[in-house]
Chain A
């Protein structure tokens, strides 16, 4: 193993005490703002997550309820607690949006999820979108659903390509093509996101509308993660760094228009009096917060992938070597890479 190592207890304690904070996948010193280390998830994390989510034969959360419902929020808290019980280093995840975990992984470092997991996430999002579409916007849903289905089919194909890159002889050109295709899909999904977000500002909305945005955002993030992994596979770290920066900014621009308060107020828009208005707003606020905070966490996550690529370049670690080390890890769910 090059520079990756197990999460030291002092780092966990530092985060718990407020000395450090986790932003995206970077652990920062709160006082100086300096990055201390990068968190990197390994394949073990997915195994632990799967076991935690289905412990006792009773799944806590599945793709059927990956939305923003109050139940999901509570379940996410349960997952966090259980994760911390299973392994102390996972206490670092306490401040993260576990909602994103179900739909698009934690985004801690480069995605290591295999094709089966990524495809499962994609399918989960697609199925969930179908459920949400049935509840809202009947006029445009058919046209939008068709387009999203086509985008998802493209993404599925590219996920397959990215997952099999290591076994290909002409991996550079294939990886570049896959990355570009994923970027195109992300762009088209962003357009759907923007359209939906703009429409939502015009009248009363429901939590299903927020759920739709959440699902689209999860799919966009999945595209980014898979695309970045393709670039790591062919050691295009400088490109990965620059693209992650730009995508983080684009994601930020997408989410800027949304605030938990305005979304919650739109949910209360049809109230007839001040009392029912306040009740409706307060009811919708936690879900609006989950959505907006999740979007902002995604920005931080993508942005920190840019920092990670820069750090690897500075440490002269190649992308493929980094990916191999993560894939080979069989014990720790999380590793750290000290900053250069």
Chain B
């Protein structure tokens, strides 16, 4: 019966909405830890690293960000999967849905275009993704191509000039450079994680994690994977 299909769709939409909001909160709470770790890298970097070996900083920062993102994804996955199991249990009629109802639910659920800010991320998420395979696929994007690494070079440039003009100015330039670099890191993290300063719909880690969860949930419901 149709009202069963509607009730089932409402349950799944409630699951989707709850997951999206929970992921936002989760990343907001976890961001300070990421920022601290990135700043620590800059603070502890030697002047040699700051001037000449920006590659070392870049790869360590990249590793930190990727690890953080992976941690967030794992947390979100665990919550989403457990909640979806619960949703399936609570379906009207204990999932005694006939094919027609099931078809309607799955037809409505993708709502790929219907989740606003995660649209672009959803389009980029592999359609075969499942809760089990989600992590490797999602994180690939957040390598060097997505991250504004020239910021390291900019931070180090001032020090490079200062080394030519004397030790007092070098110390000042070094502190100033670290400060600027930290500021840029904060800004860059905000851009990458939440899409701050980007147009709505641009990819960011938050949207990518949300997209992966929605796609995996959809596949689970469809029984595709």
Please give the residue numbers on chain A whose beta carbons come within 8 Å of chain B beta carbons, in ascending order: 23, 28, 30, 32-34, 201-204, 245, 248-249, 252-253, 255-266, 269, 271-274, 277-278, 281-282, 285, 292, 296, 299-300, 303-304, 306-307
Contact = CB atoms under 8 A, between A and B. Distances in A.
Nearest to B187: A273
Nearest to A242: B2
B14 A265 contact: no
A281 B28 contact: yes
Contact of B117 (A34, A265, A282, A304): A265
Given A23-B7, A296-B10, A307-B3, A262 B189 contact: no
Contacts of A263: 116
B148 to A, nearest CB: 16
Closest 7 CB pairs of A and B: A262-B116, A33-B92, A257-B114, A261-B20, A274-B190, A278-B28, A261-B21
B2 A306 contact: yes
Interface in B28-83: 28, 31, 35
A304 B3 contact: yes
Contacts of A262: 20, 115-118
A203 B198 CA distance: 10
A252 B190 contact: no
Contact of A261 (B10, B24, B196): B24
A30 B23 CA distance: 28
Contacts of A203: 199-200
> What is the predominant secondary structure among interface residues of chain A facing chain B?
helix
Nearest to B191: A274
Nearest to A285: B21
Contacts of A285: 21
B10 A306 contact: no
A257 B113 contact: yes
B16 interface: yes
25 contacts: A32-B93, A33-B90, A203-B199, A248-B2, A252-B13, A252-B108, A257-B116, A259-B115, A261-B20, A262-B118, A263-B116, A264-B24, A265-B24, A271-B196, A273-B190, A273-B196, A274-B189, A277-B190, A278-B28, A281-B28, A296-B10, A296-B13, A296-B14, A300-B10, A306-B2
Interface in B69-105: 90-94
B186 interface: yes
Contacts of A34: 93
Nearest to B210: A261
A278 B21 CA distance: 12
B90 A299 contact: no
Given A33-B94, A252-B108, A274-B193, 5 more contacts: A34-B93, A253-B108, A260-B20, A273-B186, A278-B31
Contacts of B2: 245, 248-249, 303, 306
Nearest to A31: B94
Residue in B31, B35, B115, B200 whose Cβ sees the most chain A Cβ within 10 Å: B200
Contacts of B197: 272
A289 B24 CA distance: 14
A34 B186 CA distance: 53
Contacts of B118: 262
Contacts of B143: none
B194 interface: yes
B9 interface: yes
B111 interface: yes
Contact of A30 (B13, B90, B186): B90
Nearest to B32: A274
Interface in B87-145: 90-94, 108, 111, 113-119
B196 A256 contact: no
Contacts of A277: 190, 194, 196
Nearest to B20: A261
B114 A272 contact: no
A256 B13 contact: yes
B175 interface: no
Contact of B10 (A30, A252, A257, A281): A252
Nearest to A279: B28
A239 to B, nearest CB: 15
A299 B21 contact: no
Nearest to A205: B200
A262 B24 CA distance: 10
A1 B194 CA distance: 59
A338 B111 CA distance: 36
A328 B187 CA distance: 65
Contact of B196 (A202, A248, A266, A272): A272
B6 A252 contact: yes
Given A245-B3, A256-B108, A259-B20, A201 B200 contact: yes
Interface string B190-208: 1001101101110000000
B16 A259 contact: yes
A299 B2 CA distance: 12
B17 A32 contact: no
Contact of A28 (B28, B92, B117, B200): B92
Nearest to B24: A261
A303 B193 CA distance: 39
A170 B60 CA distance: 81
A266 B17 contact: no
B136 to A, nearest CB: 25
